[in-house]
Amino acid sequence: MASTEQLHISNLFSLKGHVCLVTGGGTGIGLMATQALAANGAKVYITGRRKEVLENTAKTHGPQDSDNSLQGEIIPIGPCDVTKKEDLESLTKEIESKEKYLSLVVAAAGVSGPKGFPDTGDAQQMKENLWKEEVDEWNSTYKTNVTSVFFSVVTFLPLLQRAPEKLSSSVIVISSMSGMMRHSQSHFSYNASKAATVHLTRMMSKEFAKTGIRVNSIAPGYFPSEMTMKESDETNKVEMPDEKVKDKGHEVPAGRSGTDEEMAMGVIFLARCGYINGEIVKLDGGVLNEVGS
């Protein structure tokens, strides 16, 4: 039984001793997760396709207060294209040469895919609007958002199982609210891929439970990222003005985008609470209450 002091937030959510990997950790939601983990004591490896982005993130966002014993570190590793098994195998070997274990993998790499507009009641016009999408674009979207998530998790299972039991090793998959609604948002391929990512999370949570590894997912709503805003600044960050979420074809009850702090809370909760497995945490400002499937 816990004493009152043991339930202090610094004890509940400290990540001291955790060794983490974040794919797509240089920008967007992956960067938010990286900052949250490092700020609370974790050693965080970040990987992605662009080495210069990873190095800039580590330099710009690595914890700066050397007197704070709770702070961890951000370490760029790779580069790694998560759609290529040979890259993942190389990354796994490199981490194994440096670390005895991983306690958390955050699968945050993703792409938006092509857009097709169904906003017409004329079937011929709808066909013409949607037929412009390419099969290769659909396949590429699925490959990054689903297939690579599977292999990015599977390759690190042995390292995750080696983590001390007290760290409650786990995986956090970044899916999307878009995979849980009927609205296409003119992103049929993206939304379909994220629906698959949601179900993949549930399957992995069931099948991997026998290894002692938990698998959960965060389904974000509108958060500022390089993918959503098509750009980043010199710190690999970007703003999302409130008006950007007010013309989406559905209500956003929060009336704004999510914040770095709110994403951080979701990541740290799933990383630390060993009694949660197989959950899809909807971090969406209430959108799915309005348009969920």
Of 101, 190, 217, 282, catalytic: 190
Stretch 71-95: mean pLDDT: 96
Residue type, position 130, single letter: L
Q: Structural domain tally of the chain?
A: 1
**Token pair of 277, please?**
């497995």
pLDDT at 293 exceeding the cut of 80: no
Question: Range with the lowest mean pLDDT among 3-7, 104-108, 241-245, 269-273?
Answer: 241-245
Question: How far is residue 215's CA from residue 202's CA, in Å, rounded to a whole number?
Answer: 8
| Per-residue confidence band for 216, with pLDDT thresholds at 50, 70 and 90 | very high
Of 43, 101, 168, 194, catalytic: 194
Active-site residue flag, 175: yes
Of 103, 152, 169, 175, catalytic: 175
pLDDT at 133 exceeding the cut of 90: yes
pLDDT at 66 exceeding the cut of 60: no
Active-site residue flag, 101: no
Cα distances (Å, whole numbers) of residue 167 to 32, 74, 129, 161:
21, 19, 50, 11
CB-based burial, 145-175: b 16+ in 10 Å, e otherwise = bbbbbbbbbebbbebbeebeeebbbbbbbbb
What pLDDT does 69 receive? 62
Question: How far is residue 109's CA from residue 280's CA, in Å, rounded to a whole number?
Answer: 17
pLDDT at 122 exceeding the cut of 80: yes
Q: How many CB atoms lie within 10 A of CB 112?
A: 17
What pLDDT does 92 receive? 98
| Per-residue confidence band for 162, with pLDDT thresholds at 50, 70 and 90 | very high
Q: What's the order of all strands across the beta sheet hosting 43-47?
A: 73-76, 43-47, 19-23, 104-107, 170-174, 214-220, 280-283
pLDDT at 218 exceeding the cut of 60: yes
Output the domain CATH number for residue 178.
3.40.50.720
> What's 7's DSSP letter?
G
Stretch 242-270: mean pLDDT: 89
What pLDDT does 172 receive? 98
Q: Decide if 62 contacts 74 (C-beta within 8 A).
A: yes
Q: Concatenate the DSSP letters of all residues of 225-283 into one string.
A: -HHHHS---TTS-----GGGGS-SSS--TTSS---HHHHHHHHHHHHH-TT--S-EEEE
- Asked if the peptide bond before residue 114 counts as cis, ω within 30 degrees of 0, the response is no
What pLDDT does 142 receive? 97
pLDDT at 231 exceeding the cut of 70: no
What pLDDT does 183 receive? 86
Stretch 138-145: mean pLDDT: 97
Domain of residue 275 covers 5-291
> Going by C-beta distance under 8 Å and a sequence separation of 6 or more, which residues neighbour residue 86?
none
Active-site residue flag, 93: no
